Amino acid sequence: MNDMDQLVDIENSTQSKKIFLDQDIYEQEQERIFGRCWLFLAHESLIPKAGDFMTTTMGEDPVIVVRQKDGSTKAFINSCTHRGNKVCSAESGNARSFVCNYHGWVFGSDGSLIDVPLNERCYHGTIDKSTHGLPGIRVESYRGFLFGCFDQDAPPLDEFLGDFGWYLDTWMVGAGGGVELIGPAMKSILNCNWKVPAENFVGDAYHVGWTHAAALEVLGGELAGLAGNQADMPYDDLGLQFTTRFGHGFGVIRHAAASIHVKREGYDKFLRDTLPAVAENLGQARADLYDGHWNCTTFPNCSFLYGTNTFKVWHPRGPGQIEVWTYTIVHKDMDEETKKEIVKQAIRSFGTAGTLESDDGDNMTNCTHTNQGRMTRKGRMDATMGIRHEGHHPVYPGIVGSSFIGETSYRGFYRFYKEAMSAESWGDIRAQDNHWDEAWKDNGFWEAKAGKGE
Ligand code: UNU
Ligand code: FES
Ligand code: FE
């Protein structure tokens, strides 16, 4: 086992450079993180009708997700129980059954084995079809977002998302109409460790004014002021950063939702028109965040930007590579023209060849592979920005950092990463994690800030 105390230092908020490239650590992540956590599979809107399916992966495990006749959704491992071939090689479609290409075993949309060629003649009745179905995976939905989990002992999805779900409700259901994902996913390969983009989206607003400086200046809008990290910006008033139980986190830049959209009238109008409903349905605390730009990661590998409306899964492919899958988030109630415009803007910014996407790519790759050197890998990485300028907030749940530029949610991400990697089971995780926010208890940060009238 890897020495997690050495690899991730919670108190000082540093990590070993090894976590981005070591094969052993990667294997342990597959077992203990991807084998245990809820992983994003699909949005209901992508498979609306009975028999609609799509294929994806959970970690490196191939999975089929299928809409059932009764409207529920099931997921199975996409590997034939005969000799292991892929049962479905299409990316998506509609099917009554899945026929393995190798010897012709037939599986129903519910994963059961329904036909075996030459069953009577050559197996002589020895194959028990009822025990040869495709292994099923737990599936649960949060506001239409379908997640799968391999671990029967994991808490329900609702509990796994916890306070993070409370925040996501702001735009997932706050206005009443819900959101959907527009696919098919754009897919690309990036030679980086999955945690580099996951930590970036969980809480790196620091890079925005630097890595994306040129793009922001060209795009204009509310974020243009961040370009070049000018010292006189009121960073503390511009937003907040949050981390919640089980490693999820996000940052919000106030009033900047539509900032990356060039043709933004439709989106701006939608936000203006729906804001009162959010306040009425969910209260002022969340309404105050509704027209903000959000960068988020659902632990471990599903990240999205609300506002820029890009939705991504970082599928691990070994320690030094990922497949990036990118969808667009839209509100179901938007008119078709606004939806189309948002899809275009999302493609231009964070699509496969998007301007901001390519800004990030080099950094992600280099963060992973520069650590390869024998001496280099002995070094440590720092995630201390805003340490102790964070704590329990009088209004917002979780731990709240005082500025959207800070590494509060990095600390939350790696705190849970370490816990999941150290634990033998969900029982262990729960036992330790029941007190996940203890380190911040009574630190009085927000009370002191309020006391000073800030
Ligand atoms: O690059 C990002 N993750 C980002 C861009 C975050 C916030 C605003 C714009
Ligand atoms: Fe952040 Fe170099 S300045 S990685
Ligand atoms: Fe970026």
- Whether 204 is catalytic is yes
Is the shortest distance between the CB of 293 and ligand 1 below 6 Å? Answer: yes
pLDDT digits (tens, 9 = 90+) for 55-71: 999 999 999 999 999 99
Residue 368's pLDDT is what? 96
Q: Which two tokens stand for residue 297?
A: 């990661």
Q: What is the pLDDT of residues 307-329, one digit of tens each?
A: 999 999 999 999 999 999 999 99
- Annotated catalytic residue, options 22, 52, 61, 360: 360
Average pLDDT for the chain: 96
Name the residue ranges covered by the structural domains of the chain.
4-29+164-451, 39-142
39-142, CATH topology level: Rieske Iron-sulfur Protein (2.102.10)
Hey, which of 293, 314, 357, 362 would you mutate to test ligand 1's pocket, going by the most ligand atoms within 8 Å of its Cβ? 293
Going by pLDDT thresholds of 50, 70 and 90, the confidence category of residue 453 is low
Cα 162 versus chain centre, distance: 14
pLDDT band at 413 (very low <50, low <70, confident <90, very high): very high
The reply to whether 248 belongs to the active site is no
**Atom 1 in ligand 1: residue holding the nearest Cα:** 208
Residue 115 designated active-site: no
Active site includes 212?
A: yes
Mean local confidence (pLDDT), 244-253: 98
Flag the least confident range among 97-101, 229-233, 383-387, 450-454. Answer: 450-454
Q: Best mutation site among 206, 208, 296 for ligand 1, i.e. most ligand atoms within 8 A of its Cβ?
A: 208
User: Probe ligand 1: pick from 200, 305, 356, max atoms within 8 Å of CB?
Assistant: 305
> What phi and psi values does residue 162 have, to the nearest 5 degrees?
50, -130
- Of 204, 291, 359, 433, the active-site residue reads 204
**What is the CA 182 to chain-centroid distance, rounded?**
16
* pLDDT score of 341 more than 70: yes
Specify whether the CB–CB gap between 76 and 39 falls below 8 A.
no
Q: Which helix (H) or strand (E) holds 190?
A: strand 179-190
Alpha-carbon distance of 192 to 370, in angstroms, equals 11
Residue with the smallest CA separation from ligand 1 atom 3 is: 201
Q: How far apart are CA 17 and CA 58, in angstroms?
A: 25
Task: Give the DSSP H or E segment for 364.
Answer: helix 355-369
Of 93, 113, 101, whose CA–CA distance to 51 is shortest? 93
Mean pLDDT of 344-364: 95
For residues 15 and 37, give the distance between their C-alpha atoms in angstroms, rounded to a whole number.
Answer: 22
Q: Which pLDDT tens digit goes with each residue over 164-215?
A: 999 999 999 999 999 999 999 999 999 999 999 999 999 999 999 999 999 9
At residue 454 the predicted structure's pLDDT band, cuts being 50, 70 and 90, is low
Query: What spacing in Å lies between the alpha carbon of 70 and ligand 3's midpoint?
Result: 41
Taking the CA of residue 216 as reference, the ligand 1 atom at the shortest distance is 9
Provide the 10 A C-beta neighbour count for residue 74. Answer: 19
Q: What homologous superfamily is domain 4-29+164-451 in, according to CATH?
A: Naphthalene 1,2-dioxygenase Alpha Subunit; Chain A, domain 1 (3.90.380.10)
With beta carbons less than 8 A apart as the criterion, state whether 299 and 246 touch: yes
**77 or 226, higher pLDDT:** 77
Predicted confidence (pLDDT) at residue 17 exceeds the cutoff of 90: yes
